[in-house]
Amino acid sequence: MSGDAFAGKVAIAGIGATEFSKASGRSELHLATEAVDAALRDAGIEPAEVQGMVTYSADSNPDIDIARALGIGDLTFFSRVHYGGGAALGVMVQASLAVASGVADVVVVYRAFNERSGNRFGAGVQNRPVVATAENAQFAWYSPQGFLTPASWAAMFAQRYMHATGATSDALGWVAVADRKHAATNPNAWFYEKPITMDDYRDSRWIVEPLRLLDCCQETDGGQAIVVTSVERARDLPNPPAVVRAAAQGSWHGQDMMTSYYRDDMSHLPEMGLVARQLFATAGIGPADIQTAVLYDAFTPFVLFTIEEFGWCGWGEAKDFVANGNIEMGGSLPINTHGGQLGEGYLHGVNGIAEAVRQVRGTGVNQVAGVEHVVVTAGTGVPTSGMILGVDR
Protein backbone atom coordinates (compact mmCIF):
# COMPACT_ATOMS: atom_id res chain seq x y z
CA MET A 1 0.00 0.00 0.00
CA SER A 2 1.35 3.36 -1.05
CA GLY A 3 1.46 5.02 2.35
CA ASP A 4 3.45 2.31 4.14
CA ALA A 5 6.70 4.07 3.25
CA PHE A 6 5.97 6.91 5.66
CA ALA A 7 2.88 6.07 7.73
CA GLY A 8 3.55 6.53 11.44
CA LYS A 9 7.06 7.83 10.79
CA VAL A 10 6.34 11.51 10.14
CA ALA A 11 4.36 14.15 11.98
CA ILE A 12 3.11 17.69 11.73
CA ALA A 13 5.06 19.78 14.23
CA GLY A 14 3.82 23.27 13.40
CA ILE A 15 0.92 25.17 11.88
CA GLY A 16 0.64 28.85 11.06
CA ALA A 17 -1.73 31.13 9.22
CA THR A 18 -2.52 34.72 8.44
CA GLU A 19 -5.93 36.14 9.21
CA PHE A 20 -8.64 35.05 6.77
CA SER A 21 -10.20 38.10 5.10
CA LYS A 22 -11.84 39.46 1.97
CA ALA A 23 -9.10 42.01 1.24
CA SER A 24 -5.73 41.30 2.79
CA GLY A 25 -4.17 44.52 1.53
CA ARG A 26 -0.86 42.76 0.90
CA SER A 27 0.69 40.57 -1.73
CA GLU A 28 0.13 36.84 -2.02
CA LEU A 29 3.87 36.35 -1.46
CA HIS A 30 3.60 38.39 1.72
CA LEU A 31 0.78 36.14 2.94
CA ALA A 32 2.72 32.97 2.09
CA THR A 33 5.82 34.25 3.85
CA GLU A 34 3.85 35.25 6.95
CA ALA A 35 2.17 31.84 7.11
CA VAL A 36 5.46 29.93 6.79
CA ASP A 37 7.08 32.18 9.40
CA ALA A 38 4.19 31.56 11.79
CA ALA A 39 4.25 27.79 11.24
CA LEU A 40 7.99 27.58 11.92
CA ARG A 41 7.56 29.63 15.12
CA ASP A 42 4.74 27.30 16.17
CA ALA A 43 6.99 24.30 15.48
CA GLY A 44 9.99 25.79 17.29
CA ILE A 45 12.14 25.12 14.23
CA GLU A 46 14.59 27.65 12.77
CA PRO A 47 14.21 28.59 9.08
CA ALA A 48 17.74 27.40 8.38
CA GLU A 49 16.67 23.84 9.22
CA VAL A 50 14.04 23.70 6.46
CA GLN A 51 15.21 21.48 3.61
CA GLY A 52 12.02 21.00 1.64
CA MET A 53 9.08 23.11 0.45
CA VAL A 54 5.88 21.89 -1.16
CA THR A 55 2.87 23.74 -2.51
CA TYR A 56 0.17 23.56 -5.18
CA SER A 57 0.94 24.05 -8.85
CA ALA A 58 -1.94 26.53 -8.58
CA ASP A 59 0.03 28.62 -6.07
CA SER A 60 1.68 31.78 -7.40
CA ASN A 61 4.38 32.06 -4.74
CA PRO A 62 7.81 30.61 -5.56
CA ASP A 63 9.28 28.54 -2.73
CA ILE A 64 12.66 30.15 -3.40
CA ASP A 65 11.25 33.64 -2.77
CA ILE A 66 9.83 32.57 0.59
CA ALA A 67 13.14 30.86 1.34
CA ARG A 68 15.09 34.05 0.66
CA ALA A 69 12.63 36.16 2.63
CA LEU A 70 12.87 34.01 5.76
CA GLY A 71 16.48 32.94 5.69
CA ILE A 72 15.69 29.38 4.71
CA GLY A 73 18.93 28.03 3.33
CA ASP A 74 19.71 25.07 1.10
CA LEU A 75 16.71 23.15 -0.22
CA THR A 76 17.06 19.50 -1.19
CA PHE A 77 13.39 18.89 -1.98
CA PHE A 78 10.84 21.10 -3.73
CA SER A 79 7.69 19.89 -5.32
CA ARG A 80 4.26 21.01 -6.44
CA VAL A 81 0.99 19.14 -6.76
CA HIS A 82 -1.63 19.76 -9.42
CA TYR A 83 -5.46 19.76 -9.60
CA GLY A 84 -6.47 22.73 -7.48
CA GLY A 85 -7.86 21.78 -4.10
CA GLY A 86 -7.32 18.11 -4.90
CA ALA A 87 -3.71 18.81 -3.95
CA ALA A 88 -4.59 19.56 -0.31
CA LEU A 89 -3.24 16.28 1.04
CA GLY A 90 -1.16 15.45 -2.03
CA VAL A 91 1.24 18.02 -0.65
CA MET A 92 1.31 16.00 2.59
CA VAL A 93 2.11 12.83 0.63
CA GLN A 94 5.05 14.66 -0.95
CA ALA A 95 6.29 16.09 2.35
CA SER A 96 5.90 12.76 4.15
CA LEU A 97 7.74 10.81 1.46
CA ALA A 98 10.58 13.30 1.54
CA VAL A 99 10.94 13.18 5.33
CA ALA A 100 10.57 9.39 5.68
CA SER A 101 13.06 8.73 2.89
CA GLY A 102 15.63 11.13 4.34
CA VAL A 103 15.57 13.44 1.32
CA ALA A 104 14.70 16.33 3.66
CA ASP A 105 14.49 16.45 7.46
CA VAL A 106 12.04 19.35 7.67
CA VAL A 107 9.53 20.15 4.93
CA VAL A 108 7.15 23.13 4.87
CA VAL A 109 3.83 22.92 3.06
CA TYR A 110 2.16 26.24 2.21
CA ARG A 111 -0.71 27.78 0.26
CA ALA A 112 -1.55 31.48 0.07
CA PHE A 113 -3.63 33.69 -2.18
CA ASN A 114 -5.80 36.76 -2.49
CA GLU A 115 -8.64 34.64 -3.75
CA ARG A 116 -11.26 37.28 -2.94
CA SER A 117 -9.60 40.62 -3.62
CA GLY A 118 -7.48 39.26 -6.48
CA ASN A 119 -8.18 36.39 -8.87
CA ARG A 120 -11.58 35.03 -7.83
CA PHE A 121 -12.14 31.33 -8.51
CA GLY A 122 -15.90 31.87 -8.33
CA ALA A 123 -15.75 33.93 -11.52
CA GLY A 124 -14.85 30.74 -13.34
CA VAL A 125 -13.03 30.46 -16.65
CA GLN A 126 -14.71 33.32 -18.51
CA ASN A 127 -11.43 35.17 -19.03
CA ARG A 128 -9.25 32.13 -19.70
CA PRO A 129 -6.93 32.87 -22.63
CA VAL A 130 -7.68 30.79 -25.70
CA VAL A 131 -4.28 29.14 -26.04
CA ALA A 132 -4.80 25.66 -27.44
CA THR A 133 -3.28 23.57 -24.66
CA ALA A 134 -5.00 20.36 -23.61
CA GLU A 135 -5.98 21.94 -20.29
CA ASN A 136 -7.63 24.92 -22.00
CA ALA A 137 -9.21 22.73 -24.66
CA GLN A 138 -11.04 20.87 -21.89
CA PHE A 139 -13.09 24.03 -21.40
CA ALA A 140 -14.11 24.03 -25.08
CA TRP A 141 -16.89 21.65 -23.99
CA TYR A 142 -18.11 24.04 -21.30
CA SER A 143 -17.21 27.72 -21.51
CA PRO A 144 -18.80 28.60 -24.91
CA GLN A 145 -21.97 27.02 -23.46
CA GLY A 146 -21.89 29.34 -20.44
CA PHE A 147 -20.90 26.50 -18.13
CA LEU A 148 -18.14 28.52 -16.59
CA THR A 149 -17.79 28.17 -12.86
CA PRO A 150 -16.81 25.59 -10.25
CA ALA A 151 -20.28 26.01 -8.71
CA SER A 152 -21.91 25.04 -11.99
CA TRP A 153 -19.64 22.02 -12.49
CA ALA A 154 -20.42 20.80 -8.97
CA ALA A 155 -24.13 21.49 -9.47
CA MET A 156 -24.25 19.05 -12.39
CA PHE A 157 -23.06 16.29 -10.04
CA ALA A 158 -25.47 17.40 -7.33
CA GLN A 159 -28.52 17.26 -9.60
CA ARG A 160 -27.79 13.71 -10.72
CA TYR A 161 -26.92 12.61 -7.18
CA MET A 162 -30.18 14.04 -5.83
CA HIS A 163 -32.08 12.31 -8.65
CA ALA A 164 -30.39 8.98 -7.91
CA THR A 165 -30.55 9.03 -4.10
CA GLY A 166 -33.65 11.09 -3.39
CA ALA A 167 -31.58 13.56 -1.37
CA THR A 168 -33.34 16.90 -1.11
CA SER A 169 -32.00 20.41 -0.85
CA ASP A 170 -32.31 20.17 2.94
CA ALA A 171 -29.62 17.47 3.01
CA LEU A 172 -27.22 20.00 1.54
CA GLY A 173 -28.52 22.57 4.00
CA TRP A 174 -27.54 20.43 6.97
CA VAL A 175 -23.90 20.61 5.85
CA ALA A 176 -24.06 24.40 5.61
CA VAL A 177 -25.76 24.68 9.00
CA ALA A 178 -23.10 22.48 10.66
CA ASP A 179 -20.20 24.43 9.15
CA ARG A 180 -21.66 27.77 10.14
CA LYS A 181 -22.50 26.56 13.63
CA HIS A 182 -18.87 25.59 14.16
CA ALA A 183 -17.57 28.80 12.59
CA ALA A 184 -19.78 30.80 14.92
CA THR A 185 -17.59 29.87 17.88
CA ASN A 186 -14.24 30.18 16.03
CA PRO A 187 -12.80 33.72 16.40
CA ASN A 188 -10.56 33.12 13.38
CA ALA A 189 -13.52 32.30 11.15
CA TRP A 190 -14.91 34.90 8.76
CA PHE A 191 -18.41 33.94 9.91
CA TYR A 192 -17.56 34.09 13.62
CA GLU A 193 -20.74 34.63 15.64
CA LYS A 194 -22.85 34.31 12.46
CA PRO A 195 -24.61 30.93 12.56
CA ILE A 196 -27.38 30.18 10.09
CA THR A 197 -30.65 28.30 10.40
CA MET A 198 -32.18 25.88 7.92
CA ASP A 199 -34.64 28.65 7.03
CA ASP A 200 -31.73 30.97 6.21
CA TYR A 201 -30.40 28.23 3.97
CA ARG A 202 -33.71 27.68 2.21
CA ASP A 203 -34.10 31.44 1.70
CA SER A 204 -30.65 31.95 0.20
CA ARG A 205 -30.57 32.81 -3.49
CA TRP A 206 -29.75 30.48 -6.34
CA ILE A 207 -26.22 30.51 -7.64
CA VAL A 208 -26.53 27.55 -10.00
CA GLU A 209 -29.58 25.36 -9.37
CA PRO A 210 -29.63 23.10 -7.42
CA LEU A 211 -26.94 25.04 -5.47
CA ARG A 212 -27.75 28.09 -3.38
CA LEU A 213 -25.44 30.80 -2.14
CA LEU A 214 -25.09 29.01 1.20
CA ASP A 215 -23.97 25.78 -0.55
CA CYS A 216 -20.87 27.57 -1.81
CA CYS A 217 -17.67 28.16 0.11
CA GLN A 218 -16.27 31.59 0.67
CA GLU A 219 -13.69 33.33 -1.42
CA THR A 220 -10.86 34.21 0.93
CA ASP A 221 -7.58 36.09 1.14
CA GLY A 222 -5.04 34.38 3.37
CA GLY A 223 -2.21 31.94 3.81
CA GLN A 224 -1.67 28.72 5.74
CA ALA A 225 1.49 26.68 6.30
CA ILE A 226 2.30 23.29 7.84
CA VAL A 227 5.67 22.02 9.14
CA VAL A 228 6.42 18.31 8.61
CA THR A 229 9.27 16.38 10.20
CA SER A 230 10.01 12.95 11.64
CA VAL A 231 8.03 11.72 14.64
CA GLU A 232 11.31 11.41 16.58
CA ARG A 233 12.21 15.03 15.93
CA ALA A 234 8.66 16.19 16.62
CA ARG A 235 8.74 14.60 20.06
CA ASP A 236 11.54 17.00 21.03
CA LEU A 237 9.57 20.07 19.93
CA PRO A 238 7.08 22.19 21.92
CA ASN A 239 3.82 20.80 20.47
CA PRO A 240 2.63 17.22 20.72
CA PRO A 241 3.24 15.51 17.34
CA ALA A 242 0.27 15.06 15.04
CA VAL A 243 1.31 11.77 13.49
CA VAL A 244 0.62 11.04 9.82
CA ARG A 245 -1.05 7.61 10.07
CA ALA A 246 -1.78 7.60 6.34
CA ALA A 247 -1.88 9.97 3.38
CA ALA A 248 -2.85 9.11 -0.17
CA GLN A 249 -3.87 10.44 -3.55
CA GLY A 250 -6.45 9.07 -5.97
CA SER A 251 -7.55 9.45 -9.58
CA TRP A 252 -10.13 6.99 -10.95
CA HIS A 253 -10.97 5.65 -14.41
CA GLY A 254 -12.66 8.27 -16.54
CA GLN A 255 -11.23 11.06 -14.39
CA ASP A 256 -11.74 14.64 -15.52
CA MET A 257 -10.99 17.93 -13.83
CA MET A 258 -14.35 18.85 -12.19
CA THR A 259 -16.33 17.34 -15.06
CA SER A 260 -16.15 13.54 -14.74
CA TYR A 261 -19.57 13.35 -16.36
CA TYR A 262 -18.83 10.54 -18.75
CA ARG A 263 -18.55 7.57 -16.39
CA ASP A 264 -21.52 5.21 -16.27
CA ASP A 265 -22.46 6.60 -12.86
CA MET A 266 -22.33 10.15 -11.56
CA SER A 267 -23.59 9.62 -8.03
CA HIS A 268 -20.37 8.26 -6.60
CA LEU A 269 -16.97 9.87 -6.14
CA PRO A 270 -14.77 6.84 -6.90
CA GLU A 271 -11.47 8.73 -6.71
CA MET A 272 -12.37 9.59 -3.10
CA GLY A 273 -13.23 5.95 -2.47
CA LEU A 274 -9.80 5.00 -3.74
CA VAL A 275 -8.25 7.46 -1.29
CA ALA A 276 -10.41 6.23 1.61
CA ARG A 277 -9.52 2.57 1.04
CA GLN A 278 -5.81 3.37 0.96
CA LEU A 279 -6.04 5.45 4.13
CA PHE A 280 -7.89 2.85 6.17
CA ALA A 281 -5.70 -0.01 4.90
CA THR A 282 -2.48 1.86 5.67
CA ALA A 283 -3.59 3.08 9.09
CA GLY A 284 -5.07 -0.30 9.94
CA ILE A 285 -8.33 1.20 11.14
CA GLY A 286 -11.84 1.70 9.83
CA PRO A 287 -14.55 4.37 9.63
CA ALA A 288 -15.67 3.75 13.21
CA ASP A 289 -12.19 4.63 14.51
CA ILE A 290 -12.49 8.25 13.36
CA GLN A 291 -13.72 10.73 15.98
CA THR A 292 -13.91 13.82 13.74
CA ALA A 293 -13.25 14.69 10.10
CA VAL A 294 -12.40 17.74 8.03
CA LEU A 295 -14.27 17.12 4.78
CA TYR A 296 -13.60 19.36 1.79
CA ASP A 297 -16.60 21.62 1.46
CA ALA A 298 -16.08 23.93 -1.48
CA PHE A 299 -19.67 22.89 -2.27
CA THR A 300 -21.97 21.05 0.14
CA PRO A 301 -23.08 18.14 -2.10
CA PHE A 302 -19.62 16.61 -2.27
CA VAL A 303 -19.56 16.33 1.53
CA LEU A 304 -22.40 13.82 1.17
CA PHE A 305 -20.51 11.89 -1.51
CA THR A 306 -17.39 11.88 0.69
CA ILE A 307 -19.23 10.58 3.76
CA GLU A 308 -20.48 7.66 1.66
CA GLU A 309 -17.12 6.95 0.04
CA PHE A 310 -15.47 6.78 3.48
CA GLY A 311 -18.11 4.31 4.65
CA TRP A 312 -19.59 6.32 7.53
CA CYS A 313 -22.87 5.30 5.95
CA GLY A 314 -24.00 3.40 2.88
CA TRP A 315 -24.49 4.86 -0.59
CA GLY A 316 -27.52 7.11 -0.74
CA GLU A 317 -27.75 7.30 3.05
CA ALA A 318 -25.74 10.47 3.62
CA LYS A 319 -28.91 12.54 3.32
CA ASP A 320 -30.06 10.96 6.58
CA PHE A 321 -26.59 10.76 8.15
CA VAL A 322 -26.07 14.52 7.97
CA ALA A 323 -29.51 15.43 9.35
CA ASN A 324 -30.49 16.65 12.79
CA GLY A 325 -27.07 17.60 14.08
CA ASN A 326 -25.29 14.27 13.51
CA ILE A 327 -22.33 16.04 11.85
CA GLU A 328 -22.29 18.85 14.42
CA MET A 329 -20.51 18.93 17.78
CA GLY A 330 -22.13 16.22 19.89
CA GLY A 331 -23.16 14.19 16.85
CA SER A 332 -21.72 10.82 15.85
CA LEU A 333 -19.21 12.44 13.44
CA PRO A 334 -18.61 16.15 13.99
CA ILE A 335 -17.14 17.54 10.76
CA ASN A 336 -15.33 20.77 9.99
CA THR A 337 -15.07 21.81 13.62
CA HIS A 338 -13.31 25.04 12.56
CA GLY A 339 -16.25 25.98 10.35
CA GLY A 340 -14.89 24.53 7.14
CA GLN A 341 -14.44 26.50 3.97
CA LEU A 342 -18.02 27.73 4.15
CA GLY A 343 -17.50 29.13 7.62
CA GLU A 344 -13.84 29.70 8.46
CA GLY A 345 -12.33 30.48 5.08
CA TYR A 346 -11.41 28.99 1.73
CA LEU A 347 -7.72 28.19 1.91
CA HIS A 348 -7.91 25.45 -0.71
CA GLY A 349 -8.17 22.85 2.06
CA VAL A 350 -4.93 23.60 3.90
CA ASN A 351 -6.72 25.32 6.78
CA GLY A 352 -8.43 21.94 7.23
CA ILE A 353 -5.06 20.29 7.86
CA ALA A 354 -4.41 22.88 10.57
CA GLU A 355 -7.76 22.09 12.19
CA ALA A 356 -6.99 18.37 12.18
CA VAL A 357 -3.70 19.16 13.93
CA ARG A 358 -5.52 21.20 16.59
CA GLN A 359 -7.98 18.36 17.15
CA VAL A 360 -5.07 15.93 17.65
CA ARG A 361 -3.34 18.38 20.00
CA GLY A 362 -6.60 18.90 21.89
CA THR A 363 -6.61 22.65 21.21
CA GLY A 364 -9.56 23.05 18.84
CA VAL A 365 -11.99 25.89 19.55
CA ASN A 366 -14.64 23.20 19.15
CA GLN A 367 -12.65 20.33 20.61
CA VAL A 368 -14.06 16.84 20.13
CA ALA A 369 -13.54 14.63 23.18
CA GLY A 370 -11.22 11.64 23.01
CA VAL A 371 -9.73 12.28 19.57
CA GLU A 372 -7.48 9.43 18.39
CA HIS A 373 -7.75 9.80 14.60
CA VAL A 374 -8.90 12.61 12.32
CA VAL A 375 -9.63 12.27 8.61
CA VAL A 376 -8.86 15.21 6.31
CA THR A 377 -9.96 15.22 2.67
CA ALA A 378 -9.06 17.32 -0.37
CA GLY A 379 -10.84 18.90 -3.31
CA THR A 380 -13.72 16.98 -4.81
CA GLY A 381 -14.59 16.23 -8.41
CA VAL A 382 -10.88 16.39 -9.25
CA PRO A 383 -7.97 14.00 -8.73
CA THR A 384 -7.93 14.14 -4.96
CA SER A 385 -6.20 13.12 -1.75
CA GLY A 386 -6.74 12.47 1.94
CA MET A 387 -4.97 11.92 5.24
CA ILE A 388 -5.47 10.36 8.65
CA LEU A 389 -3.75 12.20 11.48
CA GLY A 390 -3.40 10.52 14.86
CA VAL A 391 -2.19 11.19 18.37
CA ASP A 392 1.32 9.98 19.22
CA ARG A 393 1.27 6.61 21.00
Residues taking part in catalysis: 296, 346
Q: How far is the CB of 250 from another protein (least distance, A)?
A: 18
Parallel/antiparallel/unpaired status of strands 52-56 and 77-81: parallel
Shorter beta-carbon distance to another protein: residue 24 or 96: 24
33 phi-psi bin (left φ>0, alpha ψ -120 to 50, beta other): alpha
Residues 251-290 that bind another protein (CB under 8 A): 259, 261-262, 266
Residues 186-205 that bind another protein (CB under 8 A): 205
Shorter beta-carbon distance to another protein: residue 134 or 370: 134
Q: How far is the CB of 190 from another protein (least distance, A)?
A: 12
Question: How many Cα atoms occupy the beta-carbon half-sphere of 161 within 13 Å?
Answer: 30
3-state SS, residue 384:
strand
Residues 291-350 that bind another protein (CB under 8 A): none
Length of the chain: 393
Contact 88, 353 (CB under 8 A): yes
Question: How many Cα atoms occupy the beta-carbon half-sphere of 391 within 13 Å?
Answer: 14
Task: Specify burial of residue 364 (Cβ count, 10 A radius: 0-12, 13-18, 19+).
Answer: buried
Task: Specify burial of residue 372 (Cβ count, 10 A radius: 0-12, 13-18, 19+).
Answer: middle
**Mask of contacts with another protein, 28-67, x by CB under 8 A?**
--x-------------------------------------
Shorter beta-carbon distance to another protein: residue 188 or 204: 204
Residues 113-172 that bind another protein (CB under 8 A): 114, 117-118, 120, 122-126, 128, 130-134, 136-149, 152, 155-157, 159-160, 163
Number of residues that bind another protein (CB under 8 A): 53
| Residues near another protein, by CB under 8 A | 22-27, 30, 114, 117-118, 120, 122-126, 128, 130-134, 136-149, 152, 155-157, 159-160, 163, 205-210, 259, 261-262, 266
